[in-house]
Chain A
Amino acid sequence: MTTAVSTLEIRNLHVSVETEEGPREILRGVDLTVRKGETHAIMGPNGSGKSTLSYSIAGHPKYTVTNGSITLDGEDVLTMGVDARARAGIFLAMQYPVEIPGVSVSNFLRSSATAVRGEAPKLRTWVKEVKASMEALEMDPAFAERGVNEGFSGGEKKRHEILQMALLKPKIAVLDETDSGLDVDALRIVSGGIEAVRAKGETGILLITHYTRILRYIKPEFVHVMAAGRIVDSGGPELAAVLEDGGYDRYVKGGGAAVSLGGGAAAVAPAGAGAAS
């Protein structure tokens, strides 16, 4: 691997959270490689550690990395603060975006674009850029003057997340259950927004989802199954179809051990990892 392709590498990642009964390990050795232009879906039952993985990548202080590494283009992500990670090119679309009363969407977007790009975007081009991105996501222009996530519907929150992804142009975007809580129309619009970013080929996407529904709109090259804090199976899009039919039962009952689904699918991610190192 010599070409300068943006690559997020997660190696043997162990993550704990503090509970009343002491620290509890949620991720137990996750290995994953996501390159620019690739789309990976991570699927798994509730409590398997999907959200923990996404928050750990973004650096949420609630999660403690006890072992392993995350690097972006060889740079150690774990030593970076939350904001530095974003400026390095990591983006997390949150499952439950937070309300920030009184901070307008337009002020927020301009502040974050200024921070991530390292300079304030030119006002004239910026206004056009925001307008075009909002139109693509079928967002009312009046939206820009509302408080961040304040009184937004579920669909509006998710569109707002994808709008930010489109404007911030990350190297790696982690989409944490972006499909949850969306009706069919909203899912179509949000998926369209993700596809638009994907089509540019400049962003590696890690799509975290509980359901296969969104995979009808976005076809990942790689599908991973997460259970009990590990990636227990990896494959191509066909793995999603298997999950759609069979659900997660086999993974959950199997105590987290990988179960071969045939088709040589399990070899995909490890092979990718090997090529990256």
Chain B
Amino acid sequence: MAVIDATGRPPAAAGAVPRPVRSRDPQDHDVPTGREEAWRFTPLRRLRGLPTGPEADGLVTVTVTAPDGVAVERLDAADARIGRVLIPADRIAAFATARAGGATAVTIPAEASLSEPVIVRLHGEGPQGAAGAASAAGVAYGHLVIEAGPFSSATVVLDHTGSATYAGNVEVYVGHGASLTVISLQDWDAGTVHLGAHAFSVGRDAKLRSFTVTLGGELVRLNPTVDYRGPGGDAELNGVFFTDAGQHQEHRLLVTHQARSCRSRVTYKGALRGESAHAVWIGDVLIGADAVDTDTYELNRNLVLTDGARADSVPNLEILTGEVVGAGHASATGRFDDEALFYLQSRGIPPTEARRLVVHGFFAEVIDRIDIPELRDRIMTSVAARLGESELAEAIAEAEAAEAAEAAEAAEAAEAAEAAEAAEAAGAAAGAGAGAGAGAGA
């Protein structure tokens, strides 16, 4: 048994990883008081009443862009495909499904190999009704069902934008032998509250890569969970968050290894900046008694950029079998490495630029794993924007743009010259033809 624990703490005792009530009925779940382990970090007063399940009075529109062959359907509430993976573990998740009144389903057919990602845009339409812009964004509920058929290969992007008070669940089934990447981007406007259960079920020999990128919103609290439906499953859960002043961003993960020979890797990286920026990362991993040959490692790194920000990071590892390949976790929260900043500055790079490079590099490890360049750029640009204007990057970009324009101009000129030459040649040929025709006619 190889237990690596970079935090220096022993694996948690049996019962350390919580086993919450699981039910689709909101009334089966207690109203959180804030004393529960699952809620102790969450500012309940800022949830805008979501634990009581208010009627929806807002709107989060769902638009799906999918390559041919992908089925996009609206399921009604009674559809059996809802709840196959996700059984709510708290009251808000139960309300999310109950009040959503059905679900949007995206199904990737068996053995399909998608060259383009499926894009699911979830846009909060902001404050609704007579109260107007002064009121908080209206309450909305949503439920998404994503199913990757056996041996399929696909990427699904959930792009959350706009302004909302949103309780939204996502359940994902990765069929046997399938390979699915799910990227959930929380790029909300300020003033958004978003709670969601993201449940993943990984089939036999299937591979899941998940990215959870939380940038915007006033309060975002997500619960990604993973279980395995057979041996040989592989789940990679990557996360990035940038918690700004006044933001609360909470990611509570639970990976349950109950099948044998499965692997999980959790890597979450966060940067925090400003007064009352609060990030919470909980990483629970449970290795059941039958989950022999499990290989798991989870890591959370937080970079605290200023005073007044707070990061809570709690990994929990509960192991009920001794026969694992590896089971470890690491958690570290730190400030800038002064020596790294000195090194960069000693190369002429101003202090603000040096900090930007360090943050960029810190996130790059995770963001570079995203295979969609436009999305990578969008995330990095958003992170960069939070760090202020970059004169160096701008100078480089400007110089490159100028060069590119120059090159394009040169190419255009060359092309024009070529075209002119070709036209001339064609003209000459036409003239000769006409001459010949005239000659023949004579």
Contacts and interface: CB of A to CB of B under 8 A. Distances in A.
Contacts of B37: none
Interface string B362-401: 1111001000000000000000000000001101101110
A92 interface: yes
B399 to A, nearest CB: 4
Interface in A107-160: 107-108, 110-112, 114-116, 119-124, 147-148
Contacts of B362: 101-102
Interface in B174-198: none
B361 A120 contact: no
Interface in B190-212: none
Contacts of B398: 120
A94 B343 contact: yes
B346 A110 contact: no
Contacts, number: 104
Contacts of A92: 346
Given A87-B348, A115-B349, A61 B342 contact: yes
Interface stretch (A12-20, A78-86, A244-252, A255-263): A78-86
A101 B344 CA distance: 12
Contacts of A116: 347-348
Contact of B348 (A100, A115, A124, A147): A115
A102 B365 contact: yes
Nearest to A82: B345
Contact of B396 (A99, A120, A148): A120
A103 B361 contact: yes
Given A58-B346, A116-B347, A124-B403, A108 B357 contact: yes
B83 interface: no
Given A61-B338, A81-B351, A111-B353, A103 B360 contact: yes
B350 interface: yes
A98 interface: yes
Contacts of A81: 345, 351
Given A82-B342, A115-B392, A119-B395, A100 B349 contact: no
B343 A98 contact: yes
A190 interface: no
A111 B392 contact: yes
Contacts of B349: 83, 86, 111-112, 115
B229 to A, nearest CB: 35
Nearest to A149: B343
Interface residues of A, number: 38
Contacts of A121: 399
A168 interface: yes
A86 B348 contact: yes
A164 interface: yes
A119 B351 CA distance: 18
A100 B395 contact: no
Nearest to A119: B395
A124 to B, nearest CB: 7
A97 interface: yes
B77 interface: no
B332 interface: no
Contacts of B344: 100, 108, 112
Name, among A61, A85, A97, A111, the residue most crowded by chain B CB atoms within 10 Å (CB to CB). A111
Interface in B327-348: 337-340, 342-348
Given A108-B344, A108-B347, A111-B349, 17 more contacts: A83-B354, A86-B345, A86-B346, A94-B343, A99-B340, A100-B340, A102-B361, A102-B368, A103-B357, A110-B396, A111-B393, A114-B396, A115-B353, A116-B348, A120-B398, A121-B399, A123-B399
Interface of A: 58-61, 81-83, 85-87, 91-92, 94, 97-103, 107-108, 110-112, 114-116, 119-124, 147-148, 164, 168
Nearest 8 CB-CB pairings of A with B? A102-B361, A120-B399, A102-B364, A112-B347, A115-B348, A86-B348, A103-B361, A82-B345
15 contacts: A82-B346, A83-B345, A86-B347, A86-B349, A100-B357, A102-B362, A103-B358, A103-B364, A108-B357, A112-B347, A114-B395, A115-B348, A119-B395, A123-B403, A168-B347
